[in-house]
Amino acid sequence: MELRKFSIPEIIFGRGSLRYVGRCARRIGAEKVFLVSDPGLEQAGWVDRLTETLEEEKLRWVYFNDVVSNPRDLQIEKGAAVYRRERADVVIALGGGSPMDAAKGIAVVASNGGQIRDYEGANRIQRPLPPMVFIPSTAGSGSDITQFAIITDVRRKVKMSIISRTLVPNISIIDPLVLQTKTRKLIIAAAIDAMSHAIESYVSNIASPFTELLSLQAIGLIVKHLHTAVETRSLDSLEQLSSASTVAGMAFSNAGLGADHALAHSLGGMFDTLHGLVHPVLLPAVMRFNLPECIEKMADIGRVLLGRRLGSSEATALGGIEKFEEFCESLEVGVHLKEIVRDKSELPNLCKMAVNDACLLTNPRKATCEDLLQICEGAW
């Protein structure tokens, strides 16, 4: 086995764990916190609950909520200016992937200077970041666990992948109670995102014994609990989704992703789509493309999705892909690329951007721009 690295934050997981935020911030040296969240979480009362824990620790804070879905470079630079002006010392993010990734971007620019696009790609961040405590409000992005941040470069219309070990937060506080106020659509989009993290990381060309079982665990948990979570909103099933998202985050942060995410980032940059709903469209086509390079591993995924092996590894692998498609259809999400792109003439441009995404480096089968185009045609 070649060299493998594995890095995750300290994790505090469980119902009501939000109450530890202040104590954790204090422990990692906070005096004045830079808090990132969004209006939805304010309205649901979670931001107040969080700031109460800061008050208990007699911490000061500055609040920043100028973040949209698929956060943008200009918002990052604006946030970094506020961070510096207010002389904050610790970053806390409460939210889904967008506020968390925005918080990471702000931490980078505030401590390393320049603009966020200077750090696009892998391992471009030189100086240490302020300590970070993240609290995910969805069970999906894994940003609270991972060394990934995805920020949109508005001018180029591209979602940049910024990957660096230093983007792993110090502490992730995962409180399944926070999921209860999310819409059906967001729960589904987040869970499918986590599923795609698990599937892509499992077949990644740098997967390791430290990541493989985590990937399979996440797949199994999501296929078992997502329907119940959506239908009943039971805390037990939401907690299982949180658990799945967390272990999928541990896996993909350290094993990387693949062609599905490379394309998803380009799609998101060009069309501002809800990230989680891109995978039902793209991932089956990517899995079929990758199959010849990793039949046994795809069969492992099939076994978990189907709950059993079929006659051969290839049959199990293909059965798994079909099961994933059925699973997405049963959730009533779109499964055709034309529903997002509308005009086929956009595809070459889309693939030209995707081929430069850092996520493509760990795809198990080498994919050229033409290959990506064929994948998109297959998903059309």
Question: DSSP letters along 130-151, please?
Answer: PPEEEEESSSS--TTTSSEEEE
Q: Return the sign of the alpha-carbon dihedral for residues 145, 148, 153, 154.
A: negative
Distance of closest approach, residue 183 Cβ to a second copy, in angstroms: 24
11 SS3 class: strand
Size of the site for a second copy (CB under 8 A): 28
Q: Does 6 bind a second copy (CB under 8 A)?
A: yes
**What are residue 297's DSSP bridge partners?**
none
In 3D space, the residue among 159, 169, 167 whose CA is nearest the CA of residue 134 turns out to be: 169
Stretch of 33-41, 208-216, 338-346, 356-364 contacting a second copy, by CB under 8 A? 208-216
Question: 111: Cβ–Cβ under 8 A, 6 or more apart, which residues?
Answer: 127, 128, 129, 130
With beta carbons less than 8 A apart as the criterion, state whether 128 and 166 touch: yes
Q: Does 234 bind a second copy (CB under 8 A)?
A: no
Stretch of 9-17, 82-90, 188-196, 320-328 contacting a second copy, by CB under 8 A? 9-17
Choose which of 66, 84, 210, 293 interacts with a second copy (CB under 8 A).
210
Distance of closest approach, residue 20 Cβ to a second copy, in angstroms: 9
What tokens appear for 213 in the block?
A: 């079982």
**CB of 173 or CB of 264, closer to a second copy:** 173
CA distance 283 to 272: 18
Residues in the chain: 380
With beta carbons less than 8 A apart as the criterion, state whether 13 and 174 touch: yes
Choose which of 143, 211, 243, 362 interacts with a second copy (CB under 8 A).
243
Q: Does 21 bind a second copy (CB under 8 A)?
A: no
Q: Does 87 bind a second copy (CB under 8 A)?
A: no
Residues numbered 121-180 forming contacts with a second copy, rule: CB under 8 A = 165
Binding mask 254-293 for a second copy (x = CB under 8 A): ----------------------------------------
CA distance 342 to 319: 29
Distance of closest approach, residue 113 Cβ to a second copy, in angstroms: 20
In 3D space, the residue among 226, 230, 248, 223 whose CA is nearest the CA of residue 323 turns out to be: 223
Distance of closest approach, residue 13 Cβ to a second copy, in angstroms: 5
CA distance 138 to 357: 25
Strand ranges of the sheet holding 148-153, from the earlier edge strand across to the other edge: 121-122, 158-163, 148-153
Distance of closest approach, residue 235 Cβ to a second copy, in angstroms: 10
Choose which of 14, 121, 334, 378 interacts with a second copy (CB under 8 A).
14
What tokens appear for 283 in the block?
A: 């991932």
Residues numbered 317-356 forming contacts with a second copy, rule: CB under 8 A = none
Residues numbered 93-112 forming contacts with a second copy, rule: CB under 8 A = none
Q: Does 217 bind a second copy (CB under 8 A)?
A: yes
Q: Does 16 bind a second copy (CB under 8 A)?
A: yes
Residue ranges that bind a second copy, judged by CB under 8 A: 1-8, 10-17, 165, 208-210, 213-214, 217, 221, 239, 243, 246-247
